[in-house]
Structure 1
Amino acid sequence: MNILYFLIGCSVFLALIFLFAFFWAMKNGQNDDTYTPAVRILFDDELPIQSKKSDENQFLK
């Protein structure tokens, strides 16, 4: 029965830590940008820049 009290105490302590982290994140503006994630999928990814040497090797083949 003592272990049950210990586990309940640990779970309450862990819940308080997560609650504190949530309020800290809200205070520091972690969730202020609600527009960018919605339109991020519409942006094209940049193509990787090929090196000049790989371009030369393509002509030699």
Structure 2
Amino acid sequence: MTSLLFLIPIALVMGLLGLVAFLWSVRSGQFEDLDGAGARVLFDDGQPLPPPVPHPSKEKHLE
């Protein structure tokens, strides 16, 4: 029973901290563009990837 005297205030403080963190993220604009990150994956940057560099250990086995 005495453990509830510690657990209930701790749970209330953690819930309040979660609420404060959520409200801060909403006000700072974290939820403004939810679909943007998913859509940016589909677009090309227009720059080609560099050619792969052969691994030195594989070249020794070919000789």
Q: Tell me the TM-score normalised to structure 1 length.
A: 0.64
Alignment of 1:2 with 2:25, yes or no, is no
How high is the sequence identity, in percent, across the aligned residues?
33
Cα RMSD (Å) of the superposition?
3.0
What is the rounded CA distance, in whole Å, between the counterparts of 1:30 and 1:18 in structure 2?
15
Residue matched to 1:34 = 34
Runs of 4+ aligned structure 1 residues displaced above 6 Å come to none
- Structure 1 gaps of 5+ residues are none
Give me the TM-score of the superposition, normalised by structure 2.
0.62
